Structure 1
Amino acid sequence: MSVRAPAPGLATRRARMTSGLVATVVFLTAIAPLATDLYVPAFPQVADDLSATATQVQLTLTTFFVGMALGQLIGGPVSDQRGRRLPLIGALLLMSVASVVCALTPSIGVMMAARFVQGFSGGWAMVIGRAVIVDLATGVRLVRVLNVIAAVGGVAPVVGPLIGAVILQLSHWRVSFWAVAVLGVVMTLAVLAAVPESLPPEKRHSGGLRAFAMAGREVLGQRRYVGYLLVTGASMGALFAYVATSAFVLQSMNGLSPTAYSVDFAANAAGMTVAALVAARLAGRVATRKVVLVGLVALAAAGVAMLIGAVWFGTPLLVAIICFLVIMVAQGLVVPNGGALASGEVPEHPGTGSAVLGCVQWGAAGLIAPIAGLGGEHTAVPMALLVVAGAALSLLGLLVIARPATRTLAKETQQ
């Protein structure tokens, strides 16, 4: 891999971390929750309108997440080579077009295809937004900014299902996709106004796919990066086991209305937001690994409690509500911090590191979503098993694969 050398005598002006830039990246992180949470409360209605099964509707999540994974895998390296700004704008415009197709879909098959494109372009945009932050921040500041982004970005999963429920009450689930299309255009305008080019030409990598393959081998050769990759990927799998099945668990099994379900979903997302804000406050004061460990222990406990409730007690409403809340709070502690620790292990390849991280996270989400629904609409056992497995794999990644070397223990306490 080669890196372009700066022209002799040319002074490079670096982009600065501004509140407008951070706010825009927060907006970009809303792509996934808005594109899913707005219509998650409508899953039963989508199934009826498109003559689809519950598993087929959940597969629209899978195609979206697979697209997200591939979009991040490709978008990160392309932005390392071509810069951040123009690829970001193009991705947002494509996402808006795909959202229009989702709104007009005549069948579940067309929706799956459009959701893939929507996810691909959305993932492309999200990984570039993250790479912009990694371009401009390191160390404790990076951890703090990523936690703030996760916390403020948590407004989207709070607002998303509530808006989705209102849409269902006043109109039709298709309107939610029109809303995402409009938001894509607004995001594009925000990028044009607030996001400068953060990767100057002299710092871009040349070499195309071959260079990406070399960079990918380098980042995957970092043991601790791989450990944190497992932490975030397995945790995301646990999270989307919840996302894919919670509507059926609370509505089909326990009789909640779409509005009541949306309120509960929003409350859980608010818990995740509060947890991420607390983690941001703790950055530089408490070791980031310790914060992640607390989140993983909570995730494991919620999964075990959910499994017991599902196997022996038919998933009582109170058990489901409490466990879902703990799962979401745990994600607020684990995912942004695990991602920050992973990025800190590969500072020389921010785009590629973010791309691989995003690919694993959203690939896990896409894989888990249909598996969680294999039991049908009236059991939570597969979902509970997946949460327990995700917590166990994450703990393996944190405590074994990403364990700090003895000589770095003192430094680790500051991360």
Structure 2
Amino acid sequence: MPERNVMTLTTERPLPDASKEMALSATVLGAVVLITAIAPLATDMYVPAFPRVGRDLDASATQVQLTLTTFFIGMALGQLIGGPVSDRVGRRRPLLASLTVLAAASVVCAFSPTIGVMMAARLLQGFAGGWAMVIARSIVVDLTSGDRMVRAMNLVAGVSGIAPIVGPLLGAAILEFSHWRVSFWVVAALAVVMVVVVTVGVSETLPAERRHGGALAQLAGSTALVLRRRVFVGYLLVFAFSMGAIFAYVATSAFVLQSMNGLSPVLYSVDFAGNAVGLTIATLLAAKLAGKVSTRMVVGIGLVATGAAGVILLVGAVCFAMPLPVALIGFFVLMSAQGLVGPNAGALASGEVPEHPGTGSALLGFLQWTMAGVIAPLAGLGGAHTAVPMATIVAALTAISVFALIVLARPRSTQQASVTATKKRELAPCTE
């Protein structure tokens, strides 16, 4: 059994077994990138069509919005369950099954005759997509460690970050030249492509001797074990709250920039894409820094930038009714900073539980998409005429993330050194 010492990810951790010696090939990495792009594509292509969906399915705006909420719920549940199951039975078969279900659910979405059928199909689509995404992240953990894992996670996040740029543009093009249902056919086609790629190019990455057998109760037990790791929980919170900050922006930016500042939909789309570019560049930069700069320090820098953006947005919202320059600068800094925070915090969290990679990835994905589902409606509580709730949420999430990084995610070596020093002081009178 390998020792379970906690190590910083600025040095290579010893590889625990032969499976780690398999290369993370371009084919496998490409499959992981495609799978992790599911959520932004399935969301961003569809959102521009909300008004037409409501008209075609005779549904209210709230009902159409619920199709997005059910998708997020499915994503969260799929990742929570899929990770531990893949730790027990392996990666390849569950991944192929989930991608097949994803394709089928997307076809049902395309044919949905009512908003109720659409909600149910979106729930299943999210569940299958979440299941596939958590296994994809687990494959990276299976095949890499230390700096290589940080680099791979950032590269995956950076390349996948193109999806939020392409998604709205592709969705707008579909609406211009075809029907909104075509967006679901695109997702179904991508799922079929993923099935072929995994079948041909991805072998099993979790050997039988590393699997955790047992019933569902034992899977719950592994979740409890993982959650008892203080450092893991700290990075888990930082990772999830980064997603919360992103969706606070996603849920309100259209109102802030269009309703409050008069930007046209085209200019708003350009700004949205520009912010996504900032996030992608920051993520790829973080991948380059892996092994050169402490990953924990990169996360800290990202949180400082996020805090600065939160202050800018909060002051602009409370004191000046969010003028356009403040919103543009604040949103760009906020989104770019998340490229330094989210992927790195996720990699650090995964590195804390190498013996339960699927369970760790499941908890990361579950809390991530739960935050997305919770924060989006909360950020929009102010309606179309104030950005105060959004800015307050960003500032609050940043403050909690800083606490989690400094206190909960404090390296165990630092804590042990402090305990040793305390014991020496206590024993000093006895040695005089």
Fold match by TM threshold 0.5 = yes
Q: Kindly name which structure, 1 or 2, has the bigger radius of gyration based on alpha carbons.
A: 2
Counterpart Cα distance in 1 of 2:331 and 2:304: 15
Q: For the Cα contact (< 8 Å) 1:41–1:258, is it kept in 2?
A: no
Partner of 1:120: 127
Match of 2:261 among 250, 254, 257: 254
Q: Find out whether 1:146 has 2:153 as its counterpart.
A: yes
Q: Separation in 2 of the partners of 1:180 and 1:264?
A: 25
Mapping 1:21-100, distance limit 5 Å:
21-47=28-54, 49-50=56-57, 54-100=61-107
Asked if residue 158 in structure 1 is aligned to residue 165 in structure 2, the reply is yes
Higher mean alpha-carbon deviation, 21-30 vs 161-170, is at 161-170
Tell me, what secondary structure is at the counterpart of 2:203? Answer: coil
SS in 1 for 2:401: helix
CA displacement at 1:120 relative to structure 2: 0.7
1:8 corresponds in structure 2 to none
Relative distance call for 1:336 and 1:381 in structure 2 (3 A) is: same
> Structure 1: which amino acid aligns with 2:28?
L
Corresponding residue for residue 309 of structure 1: 316
Partner of 2:175: 168
Displacement of 1:123? 0.4
How many equivalent pairs are there?
400
Cα deviation, residue 269, structure 1: 1.1
- Structure 2 CA distance for aligned equivalents of residues 247 and 298 of structure 1: 22
Q: 1:46 to 1:268 in 2, by over 3 A?
A: farther
2:410 counterpart residue number: 403
Single out whichever of 307-316 and 88-97 deviates more from structure 2: 307-316
Q: 1:377 to 1:179 in 2, by over 3 A?
A: farther
Q: Spell out, residue by residue over 1:172-226, the C-alpha distance to the aligned partner (whole angstroms, 9 max, x if none).
A: 3332222112111112112112211101222211103122111111110100000
Task: Tell me the alpha carbon deviations over residues 295-320 of structure 1, each in whole angstroms, 9 at most, x when there is no partner.
Answer: 11111221222222223333333322
Match of 1:129 in 2: 136
293, 300, 315: which one aligns with 2:300: 293
> Partner of 2:217 in structure 1?
210
Maintained 8 Å contact 2:20/2:144: no
- Matching residue's letter, 2:137: R
- The match for 1:347 among 317, 341, 354 is 354
Q: 1:225 to 1:233 in 2, by over 3 A?
A: same
8 Å Cα contact 1:40-1:247 kept in structure 2: no
Residue 41 of structure 1 contacts residue 262 of structure 1 at CA under 8 Å; is this kept in 2? no
- Structure 1 distance, partners of 2:379, 2:57, is 21
Distance of aligned partners of 1:321 and 1:172 in 2 relative to their CA distance in 1, 3 Å threshold: farther
Aligned to 2:240: 233
Counterpart of 2:387 (choices 376, 380, 400) is: 380
Which residue of 2 is the match for residue 275 of structure 1? 282
CA distance in 2, matches of 1:324, 1:57: 26
Q: Is the 8 A contact 1:71 1:123 kept in 2?
A: yes
Q: Secondary structure at the match of 1:17?
A: coil
- The residue type equivalent to 2:180 in the other structure is W
Question: Structure 1: how far apart are the matches of 2:251 and 2:57?
Answer: 18
CA contact (8 A) 1:55 1:373 kept: no
Query: Is there any run of 5+ residues in structure 1 with no aligned partner, and where?
Result: 1-10, 411-415
Aligned partners of 1:162 and 1:263 also within 8 Å: no
- Give % identity: 64
Distance 1:276-1:206 versus aligned 2 partners, 3 A rule: same
Contact (CA 8 Å) 2:59, 2:115: kept in 1 or not?
A: yes
Q: Given the alignment, which residue of 174, 179, 192 partners 1:185?
A: 192
Aligned-residue offset at 1:240: 1.1
1:197 equivalenced with 2:204 (yes/no): yes
Counterpart position of 1:5: none
Q: Deviations over 1:22-80 (max 9, x none)?
A: 11101111011101111233345445555555554443332211111110111011111
Secondary structure class of the residue paired with 2:382: coil
Whichever residue aligns with residue 232 of structure 1, its letter is F
Q: Which residue of 2 aligns with 1:336?
A: 343
- TM-score, scaled relative to structure 1: 0.90
Name structure 2 gaps, 5 residues minimum: 1-17, 418-432
Partners of 1:310 and 1:286 in 2: how far apart?
A: 35
Aligned position for 1:7: none
Cross-structure match for 1:321: 328
